[in-house]
Amino acid sequence: MTCLEGPHSNQGPDKSCGPMAPEEELVSSSQLEEEEEENEEEEEDLDPDLAPDLEEGVDEEEEDLGDPAILSAVTNTQRGLPSSPGIKASGALGMSPASLHFLWQTLDYLSPVPFRPTHPSTSSPVRHFGPRLLPPDPYVFCSPPTSWSPRFSHLTQLHPQHQRILQLQQHSRTPRSPAKKPWSRQSDAYANLMTRKEKDWVIKVQMVQLQSEKPCLDDYYYQNYYQKLEKKEADQELLGQRSKVESLKLVTPYIQKAEAYESVVRFEGSLGQVAMSTCFSPRRAIDAVPHGTPEPEIGAASSQRLRVLSWIEKMFLQLLEIEEGKKNGPPQSCYSEQQRNQVEKLFQALKTQEQSNLEETADGFLQVLSVRKGKALVARLLPFLPRDLAVSLLLAVIHHLPLLVKRDAADQVLQMLFKPLGKYISHLTFHELLQGLQGLMLLPPGSSERPVTVVLQNQFGISLLYALLSHGAKLVSLDPSLEEPSSDHTAWTDIVILIAWEIAQMPTASLAEPLTFPSNLLPLFCRHVDKQLVQQLEATMQLAWIY
Amino acid sequence: MAALSQLKMNYMPGTASLIEDIDKKHLVLLRDGRTLIGFLRSIDQFANLVLHQTVERIHVGKKYGDIPRGIFVVRGENVVLLGEIDLEKESDTPLQQVSIEEILEEQRVEQQTKLENEKIKVQALKDRGLSIPRADTLDEY
């Protein structure tokens, strides 16, 4: 019990027991944080009730405090509400922010004195352990700012009528200010029953509940919102709106947790447990640990679906870790060894899903892709994958394209895969391309419709198909050896003719609009297909592709 | 000065806190329907309140009556809402203050008429074969 109790014990008997009690337990939780020497120095500084101490301290540190009259007015009428002794302490000691987080350095409640780090030797750059401070400007005291902002932070959203009323109040009060004190008609004899320490304690308790080691995850929305706000303000400042408006940010403290203790003690050979109570928990119930009960067999289909969904969630968490690593780490495209391992592991997880059979492997991948979140997962994972793995994914997608299209009928979100996959199309070899496309051309037994018709009716499908054809055309044009009559070449021409025929066959209405329309498609069709068909194709494709 | 109160800081920007409301006059509405008016002297993390020079205000129609109650400690969970009272505008009200006895009498009368109306309604429904169960007599399953 070294830390904050130091100042109290030195005070002697006049210090009330009230504030001590709540502080005791908090102190022990913080003793890991505190360093002894810092506490010694703070003893005088932290005590809010020694007004004379403060006055001198304030004079030393707060050089920019223009009017001593203000200060005396403050201290005289609000005894016990000192003007930020804590700030002075921080300036004097130059403590590390981590310990500052725990110490009570919050500002004065009613009459904050602006703080400016005046001593370059002693002050560390102003750390924001609590709210950020508005930059000090003595002239602010005299006149209300032109763009009057609400008294609270940017997040206090008042009804416009409410805001107007407050504004009127402010403006109507300013002319009267030199004449009378604004905050009390007659001196309130019962004011400040709740001392500063107590107020700080309440705030601290509330802050402790907010603490987290990774605010970017736990408090994602606020952190992102604040980043956007800061960026906007920085932009505004650059553009010339010179008034540097700094909006306050809520900074949650990081307080190291107290050591875990055994609240339940077991004796050898005893039948029960003895609950040991401490000041942290006066009583703790016997541990009721839920043991893993075997899941009831719901139904093969639904349980399978649930398994896929939970699998996707696990993979997503891994993906988020990888993205986080990329975001925080150096901004280069080469990944660290650890990252590469993570990506590999994730890819394996994606592919295998704990299934041994190769047939089922592809099936597992398909199941993941059938879920909207699974598609998002794959789309976000693709940029991280090494080329060969990405290409294998691409081939799997092409192979199962009709099935994917059918399953996507409800969600219609396959499009998100187009951009990441499209990048890897150019890495396909001619042979791989042929194989993929041939699969689409095969007539399945018992059906007169080729899989490609379904593909053509879907936006993602048709875009992918066009991209593949374009790539094939490019390969053919680049490599003269492919022009020679060979099984590959015939296969290619067959595919092109078939696709052209299918497109022509399809009514324009059902032909989907592709996301991109490669320019070498029409020439490709011209080469292999007769004129009449080409004209028909042109008409169909132009109509379908509305520009 | 005025500007000092303007620069009032919020410790936890973006959150609501009762810290700034300390030592100000508040109107507190409780879950049991009572209205308390008093100076907020102390709070804690559960928003338990300590009200000083508290007055319980009973409203009946356009009249109200104040019963002085002294110091109240209100458990936080029983508060519906509370709001600061502007001391300057406090007297600017169309309502008429009456004595305690009068307002209690008014309240009793109001309660009585309400009960009677309720009885008539229930009787009318019963005549038509309908019954609306009262909330306090509902069986809980």
Site from B5, B6, B9 to mutate, A interface, most A CB atoms within 10 angstroms = B9
Is residue A491 a contact partner of residue A438, using CB atoms and an 8 Å limit?
Answer: yes
Find how far residue B112's CA is from the centre of its chain.
21
Instruction: Look at residue B132 and tell me if it is in a domain.
Output: no
What confidence category does residue B47 fall into, taking pLDDT thresholds of 50, 70 and 90? very high
The pLDDT of residue A16 is: 41
The pLDDT of residue A254 is: 64
Instruction: Look at residue B8 and tell me if it is in a domain.
Output: no
Least confident of A1-10, A478-487, B50-59: A1-10
Instruction: Look at residue B109 and tell me if it is in a domain.
Output: yes
Predicted confidence (pLDDT) per residue in A288-309, tens digit: 666 665 556 557 778 888 888 8
ipTM above 0.90, yes or no: no
Is residue A504 a contact partner of residue A539, using CB atoms and an 8 Å limit?
Answer: no
Tokens of B117: 């109306």
Q: Residue A186: list chain B partners with CB under 8 A.
A: none
User: Highest mean pLDDT range out of A180-189, A352-361, A369-378?
Assistant: A369-378
Chain B nearest C-alpha distance from A58 (Å) = 17
The pLDDT of residue A514 is: 77
Q: DSSP code of A64?
A: T
The pLDDT of residue A125 is: 41
| Total CB pairs under 8 A between chain A and B | 113
User: Percent helix, strand, coil in chain B (nearest 5)?
Assistant: 30, 35, 35
Q: DSSP code of A176?
A: T
Average pLDDT, chain A: 66
Least confident of A48-62, A176-190, A282-296, B73-87: A48-62
The pLDDT of residue B30 is: 97
The pLDDT of residue A159 is: 82
Q: What residue in A sits closest to B44 (Cα-Cα)?
A: A202
The pLDDT of residue A55 is: 43
Predicted confidence (pLDDT) per residue in A443-501, tens digit: 777 767 777 788 888 888 888 888 888 888 888 888 777 666 777 788 888 888 888 88
User: Highest mean pLDDT range out of A205-209, A352-356, B15-19, B102-106?
Assistant: B102-106
What confidence category does residue B135 fall into, taking pLDDT thresholds of 50, 70 and 90? confident
Instruction: Look at residue B33 and tell me if it is in a domain.
Output: yes
Instruction: Look at residue B137 and tell me if it is in a domain.
Output: no
Q: Which CATH number do you get for residue B93?
A: 2.30.30.100
Q: What is d(CA A104, CA A130) in angstroms, rounded to the nearest whole number?
A: 9
User: Residues of A numbered 43-82 whose beta carbons fall under 8 angstroms of chain B's beta carbons: which are they?
Assistant: 70, 74
Q: Residue A132: list chain B partners with CB under 8 A.
A: 13
Domains identified in chain B, total number? 1
Predicted confidence (pLDDT) per residue in A137-186, tens digit: 443 333 444 444 445 556 666 788 888 887 887 787 666 544 444 444 56
Q: What is d(CA B65, CA B57) in angstroms, rounded to the nearest whole number?
A: 6
Question: Could you list the residue range(s) of the whole structural domain that residue B92 is in?
Answer: 16-127
Site from A133, A194, A201 to mutate, B interface, most B CB atoms within 10 angstroms = A194
Beta strand B49-60 with B35-43 is: antiparallel
Instruction: Return the domain boundaries, chain A.
Output: 303-385, 386-546
Instruction: Look at residue B111 and tell me if it is in a domain.
Output: yes
User: Residues of A numbered 309-348 whose beta carbons fall under 8 angstroms of chain B's beta carbons: which are they?
Assistant: none
Q: What is d(CA A326, CA A224) in angstroms, rounded to the nearest whole number?
A: 17
Nearest to A131 among B2, B5, B13 (CB): B13
User: Residues of A numbered 210-239 whose beta carbons fall under 8 angstroms of chain B's beta carbons: which are they?
Assistant: 222
Chain B nearest C-alpha distance from A197 (Å) = 12
The pLDDT of residue B61 is: 92
Query: Could you give phi then psi for residue B80, rounded to 5 degrees?
Result: -85, -55
User: Is a pLDDT exceeding 90 seen at residue B79?
Assistant: yes
A216-220 contact pairs (CB < 8 A, 24+): A216/A324, A219/A252
Instruction: Look at residue B135 and tell me if it is in a domain.
Output: no
Q: Calculate what percentage of chain B has a pLDDT beyond 70.
A: 86
Beta strand B63-74 with B96-97 is: parallel
Predicted confidence (pLDDT) per residue in A106-129, tens digit: 433 433 333 443 444 444 443 434
Answer with the residue of higher pLDDT: A533 or B76. B76
What's the mean pLDDT in A301-320? 86
Tokens of A74: 């403050």
Site from B5, B8, B11, B41 to mutate, A interface, most A CB atoms within 10 angstroms = B11
What confidence category does residue A283 fall into, taking pLDDT thresholds of 50, 70 and 90? low
Residue A76: exposure state from Cβ atoms within 10 A (0-12, 13-18, ≥19): exposed
Q: What is d(CA A398, CA A394) in angstroms, rounded to the nearest whole number?
A: 6
The pLDDT of residue B43 is: 94
SS3 A171: helix
